Chain A
Amino acid sequence: MKLKYILPILFIALFSTACSSDDDNNDQPPVINEVEGLTKIQDFTNNNHTIELWSETGHFKTGYNDISVRIKDNTSNSFFENFTINWMPVMEMPSMEHSCPKSTIEKAPGKNTVYQGYIIYQMTNLDGSGWSLTLNYTIDNVDYTVTDTITVTQNYNQNVTTFKGSDDVKYVLALIEPQSPKIATNIMKVGLYKMENMMSFPIVEDYTITLDPRMPDMGNHSSPNNTDLTYRSDGMYQGNLSLTMTGYWVLNLQLLDETNTVLKGEAVTLENPQSSVYLELEF
């Protein structure tokens, strides 16, 4: 008996929701949040502007940091769509100061106000102090600059490593992808930079990085169908990384130059369970 009454009501309810969801024609255009899904790391403020730095995690850590930047006009509260900007991170040490590998900052694809780049902090102090970041930018042919200290925390796993090759060059090598590893054949991307001087870390091109992922907890279990990382046009080294299970993985690497001479790192054998060049991964 009751069903007879409930059913029509149900139908009406269904149809009415179906209708209303269709015409959402409000008068003002929807405001698109260009930093959706990101968390603000820090604001850099001067008299005119506030420069906002965003990332997925909302803080700087050692290793690769994908950073989104936008600049707000402090008077109009609107964001600039056209500007040029570069950055200079500096680590203050007792005896000297140095920088780290970093990219240029370009407009993020599909965005109007957001620019994007990355910084690879190769080290930090235990309390996260020591780093400062200078932002130099130009809006309508006027140059501005702003500097502030930043906090860079130590990443739990080794996602960046610094070493000196047999060619006497100091290299920085950082894990860029996978950021969310899966039990699968993952695309692995690595950045390789050489320390030209304290302030300049250009990309090293056309070397080869061999890959041998291992699980020390599982008797140094490895996985099949990994490929060596080779240089790609995006300025990174790319290869396939197979992860057969979740857990703690050590990605053993060797750095080879254009002539396939090993600059650093050793093959994993029974006697040598780990290469001197490695990255860590946990998921």
Chain B
Amino acid sequence: MIKYILFGFGFLFTALTFAQELEATVDKDTTQLEEVILIGERKLSNYRQEKTLSSIDDYLEKSNKVTMIKRGNYAWEPSLNNMDSQRLSVTIDGMQIFGACTDKMDPITSYVDVSNLEKVSIGSGQEGTENGHCVGGGIDLKRPKSKFNGSGFKSGIDLGYETNGNYKTAGLNAEYVGNKFYINGDGIFRKSDNYDAGGNEEVLYSQFQKYNISLKGGYKLTEKHTLDADVIYDKATDVGYPALPMDVSLAEALITSLTHTYKNDSTRIKSWESKLYFNTITHIMDDSKRPDVPIRMDMPGWSDTYGFYTKATLTESKHNLLINLNGFYNRSLAEMTMYPNNPNQPAMFMYTWPDIRTLYTGVYIKDAFALTDEKTISASARLGYHNNIIAEESGLESLQIFYPDLTDSKSRMLMSLSAEYKVKKDNYDATFGLGYGERAPSVSEGYGFFLFNSFDNYDYIGNPTMKNEKSLEANIAANYYINNFKIGFETSYFYLTDYIIGELDESISPMTIGADGVKVYSSLRHANIFDFYVNSSYKISDAFSVNGTVGYNYGKGSNKENLPFIKPFSYLAEVNYTRDLFNAALQINGNGNQSNYSSFYGENETASYAVLNLNLGNVFYIKNNKMVFKYGIENILDTNYSTYADWNNIPRQGRNFYMNVSYILF
């Protein structure tokens, strides 16, 4: 504890020292704030992606530090720095939104589509706390910005087909941009049958079907004030989860927001954006398509979130200041009804999430200060109040079975601090960062009631008495450039205390038939997570380039056990040929043998693998219209493999031919 206090003082002291220096320095243009925050921000464009219509999951997986945990062919769960969703802050345009599934079958990335988004901001560790507290990092899925450039009407059609799984995609988008107002809408439909793993092995229950509609419009009140309204509706039906004992018959989300933006280049306050939002999710798990289950059950879940944020960017001499005040109120309710094989007996019912209300309000401040043209220092802090209430009396009573003294309300204060120093020279750049962050247990970790985890085959019980999980982190990234050659590395180290993980409690009998026992969430004294990546690229000619990445990750708890879901040695190499109207890429990626697997937490060893992909793209101009073709072969060698992040080792897709066509009408 003392360590943290010292760190906090150290942090404040440095911040203060810099604050004093500020006045003396000369004016300088610092518009780099956004880039400072982000380790990765990629624009979603028809050109850059291998597939125009790749899912958001495919897209995120391309980032170095992001891994998608797969329970099927749909709704993958993002993991950043080897930490998954409860340790991350995943938001849509700054809006908090929480999945309604107790088994994490609906990460919020599954409720938006690539067609809805303009870019994704990924902040590693404490650099990802602009929208909420996290220890692993933040992922913000950004909607297109409003525009009033009078570009008029534009529309496009996207069609896609993939042979593996008979996967069909169709999308339509249209926009009208005037000088005073704009409106844009898009719809996309995706349907896939079961896919085949390498060797034509059909993976049962891997089908899915979904559609997504979004509508966004804005009105310019005056030169400086604009008002935007935004609606996303996403509905997935018939989603199979081959790695789990249940499928999903409905996952439905309605995400709405209203935003007011003030922009002024000539004042101290450059921009001031305020948003009110509401989103509601219904998620219904269902096992009616499974022929053999020990007991039939329904597991519906609901999550509603109301929230707001108001954030301003200020520029004062060489300071770039961002202030974000936000708050949300979430209601998470999930229940389970089981139908005994003996029809004379009553159905068995329980609340698996007993109507948990979460109220959060907090403030985030970030200051980026340019020391010189080449050196920037930035610091950020988030402070928040977090409260959980068990609204369902019956839910409180059911948790009191485990915690007899439990009351219905629990409040926490959460804090996050980070500091970063960045140097950018002609032939090298480097970033050094330090951070301290806290997070509250998630609803499942705090209040889950007999949540079955098919990964380690244990039932999990939440623990509302746990302390906040705390993380102390350090990260370094550097790149070195010689002529057309670039080499760089990035590394992060996390020292987590009160690391939340399930601990076996022999005295509790499992609820799920066939489960090995019950784990109760508890705080591991500490845990270490380390990752290290080396990236290099070489530009052979204007058209040809090669690049490669190798990564190493490590995670261990204070109990000397390996942590689960730590990525083994990984590599990726790519040869690119790029012309204006044609591009091709041959890619190999793979993982080493997962030797440091966590048998203690239910993992088994995953063998090494390598897959080869070929991606091609053409662009045609027909009169004023543009046509983009993307096609290729994934897993050319039809390798049958699974990775460490595949739930219960379900095999990944075998050979797949794909083709996407986008036709853009101006």
A residues apposed to B, CB below 8 Å = 182-185, 215, 217-225, 242-248, 282-283
CA distance A245 to B510 in the complex (A): 12
Task: State the CA gap A103–B397 with chains docked (Å).
Answer: 32
Given contacts A219-B514, A225-B404, A248-B348, 11 further A-B contacts (CB under 8 A): A183-B349, A185-B404, A217-B341, A219-B513, A244-B401, A245-B350, A245-B511, A246-B346, A246-B348, A246-B350, A247-B345
Interface string of B322-356 (1 = CB under 8 A from A): 00000000000000101011100111111100000
Contact in complex: A224, B346 (CB < 8 Å): no
Q: How far is the CA of A184 from the CA of B450 in the complex (A)?
A: 14
B342→A217 contact, CB < 8 A? yes
Chain B nearest Cβ from A214, distance in angstroms = 8
> Can you name 27 A-B pairs with beta carbons within 8 Å?
A183-B350, A183-B398, A184-B398, A185-B397, A185-B400, A185-B401, A215-B348, A217-B348, A218-B338, A218-B348, A218-B513, A219-B294, A220-B509, A224-B401, A224-B402, A224-B507, A224-B508, A224-B509, A243-B401, A244-B401, A245-B511, A246-B347, A246-B348, A247-B348, A247-B349, A248-B340, A248-B345
In the bound complex, CA of A112 to CA of B594 (Å): 78
CB distance from B197 to the nearest CB of A (A): 32
Asked if A247 contacts B394 (CB within 8 A), the reply is no
Contacts A218-B511, A218-B513 given; indicate if A247 touches B351 (C-beta within 8 A).
no
Contact of B450 among A244, A246, A282 (CB under 8 A): A244
Cross-chain contact of B338 among A225, A242, A247, A283 (Cβ < 8 A): A247
B12 interface contact, C-beta 8 A? no
In the complex, what residues of B have CB within 8 A of residue A282's CB? 345-346
Given A183-B350, A223-B509, A244-B398 contact (CB < 8 Å): yes
Within 8 Å CB of B404, what residues of A?
185, 225
In the assembled complex, the Cα of A184 lies from the Cα of B351 at a distance in Å of: 11
Q: In the bound complex, how far is the Cα of B449 from the Cα of A242, in angstroms?
A: 14
Complex contacts, B581 vs chain A, CB 8 Å:
none
A243 surroundings in chain B (CB, below 8 A)? 401
Considering only CB atoms, which chain B residue lies closest to A186 in the complex?
A: B397
Q: Which residues of B contact A183 (CB under 8 A)?
A: 349-351, 394, 397-398
Q: Would B295 and A218 count as touching, CB distance under 8 A? A: yes
Helix, strand, loop or mixed for chain B's interface? loop
Identity of the chain B residue whose Cβ is nearest the Cβ of A212 in the assembled complex? B509
Contact of A217 among B340, B402, B449 (CB under 8 A): B340
CB neighbours of B507 from chain A (8 A): 224
B513 touching A242, Cβ below 8 Å? no
Cβ–Cβ contact A225 & B345, under 8 A: no
Min CB–CB distance A142 → chain B (angstroms): 50
> For this complex, into which size category does the number of interface residues on chain B fall?
20 to 34
Interface centre among A184, A185, A222, A282 (most CB of B within 10 A): A184
State A151–B197 Cα separation when bound (angstroms).
67
In Å, the complex CA distance between A123 and B331 comes to: 49
Contact assessment for B394 and A184 in the assembled complex, using a CB-CB cutoff below 8 Å: yes
Residues in A whose Cβ lies below 8 Å from that of B394: 182-184
Separation in Å of the A141 CB from the closest CB of chain B? 50
CB neighbours of B401 from chain A (8 A): 184-185, 223-225, 242-244
Nearest opposing residue in chain B for A242, CB measure: B401
Determine the residue in chain B with the shortest Cβ distance to A245: B350
Contact (Cβ within 8 A) A184 B346 = no
Given contacts A219-B294, A222-B509, A247-B338, contact A184 B348 (CB under 8 A): no
Q: How far is the CA of A221 from the CA of B338 in the complex (A)?
A: 13
A225-B508 Cα distance, complex, nearest whole Å: 9
A6 vs B159: C-alpha distance in the bound complex, in angstroms?
57
A247 touching B347 by the CB < 8 A rule? yes
Residues of chain A contacted by B347 (CB below 8 angstroms): 246-247
* A residues in contact with B512, CB < 8 Å: 218
Interchain nearest-CB distance for A14 vs B (Å): 29
The residues of A that contact B340 with a CB separation of less than 8 Å are 217, 247-248
| A246 and B511 in contact, given A184-B397, A218-B338 (Cβ under 8 angstroms) | no
Q: Are A221 and B351 in contact (CB under 8 A)?
A: no
* Least CB separation from B294: chain A residue: A219
Which A-chain residue is minimally distant from B508 (CB atoms)?
A: A224
**Do A184 and B400 contact each other (CB < 8 Å), given the known contacts A224-B508, A247-B338, A247-B349?**
yes
Q: Which residues of chain B have C-beta atoms less than 8 A from A215's C-beta?
A: 348
Q: Chain A residues near B514 (CB, 8 Å)?
A: 219
CB distance from A241 to the nearest CB of B (A): 10
Which residues of B from 378 to 427 have beta carbons under 8 Å from A? 394, 397-398, 400-402, 404
A184→B346 CA distance, assembly (Å): 18
Closest to A283 in B: B346
Complex Cα distance, B350 from A215, in Å, reads 14
Q: Give bound CA distance, A220 to B510, whole Å.
A: 9
Chain A residues with Cβ below 8 Å from B336 are 245
Chain A residues whose C-beta falls within 8 Å of the C-beta of B398 in the assembled complex? 183-184, 244
- On chain A, the residues within 8 Å of B341 by CB distance are 217
Tell me, rounded to whole Å, the shortest Cβ–Cβ distance linking B396 to chain A: 8
C-alpha spacing A67/B349, complex, angstroms: 31
Complex Cα spacing A238 to B41, Å: 63
Out of B342, B349, B449, B511, name the residue touching A221 (CB < 8 Å). B511
Please measure, in the bound complex, the distance between the C-alpha atom of A282 and the C-alpha atom of B348, giving whole angstroms.
10
Q: Which residue of A lies closest to B518 (CB)?
A: A224
Checking A218, A225, A247 against B346 with a beta-carbon cut-off of 8 angstroms, the contacting residue is A247
CA distance A219 to B349 in the complex (A): 16
Q: How far is the CB of B351 from chain A (nearest CB, A)?
A: 7
Q: Which residues of A contact B511 (CB under 8 A)?
A: 218, 221, 244-245
List B contacts of A247 (CB < 8 A).
Answer: 338, 340, 345-349
Cα–Cα distance between A226 and B402 once the two chains are bound (Å):
10
Complex CA–CA separation, A283 to B349 (angstroms): 9
Complex Cα gap A109–B340 (Å): 42
Chain B 433-473 per-residue mask, 1 if CB under 8 angstroms from chain A, else 0: 00000000000000001100000000000000000000000
Which B residues are CB-close (under 8 A) to A248? 340, 345-346, 348
Residues of B within 8 A of A220 (CB): 509
A215–B340 Cα distance when bound, in Å, is 10
Complex interface: chain B residues within 8 A of A185 (CB): 397, 400-401, 404
Closest to B403 in A: A225
Residues of B246-296 whose CB lies within 8 A of A? 294-295
Residue of A nearest to B342 (CB): A217
Q: How far is it, in angstroms, between the C-alpha of A105 and the C-alpha of B273 when the chains are bound?
A: 74
Contacts of A184 in B (CB 8 A): 394, 397-398, 400-401
Shortest beta-carbon distance, B457 to chain A, in Å? Answer: 13
A188–chain B nearest beta-carbon distance, Å:
13
Please name the residue on chain B nearest to A248 by beta carbon.
B345
Bound complex: CA A219 to CA B449 (Å): 18
In the bound complex, CA of A215 to CA of B507 (Å): 16
What distance in Å separates the Cβ of B519 from its nearest Cβ neighbour in chain A? 13
CA distance A246 to B509 in the complex (A): 16
Residues of B within 8 A of A218 (CB): 295, 338, 348, 511-513
Chain B contacts of A219 at CB under 8 A?
Answer: 294, 510, 513-514
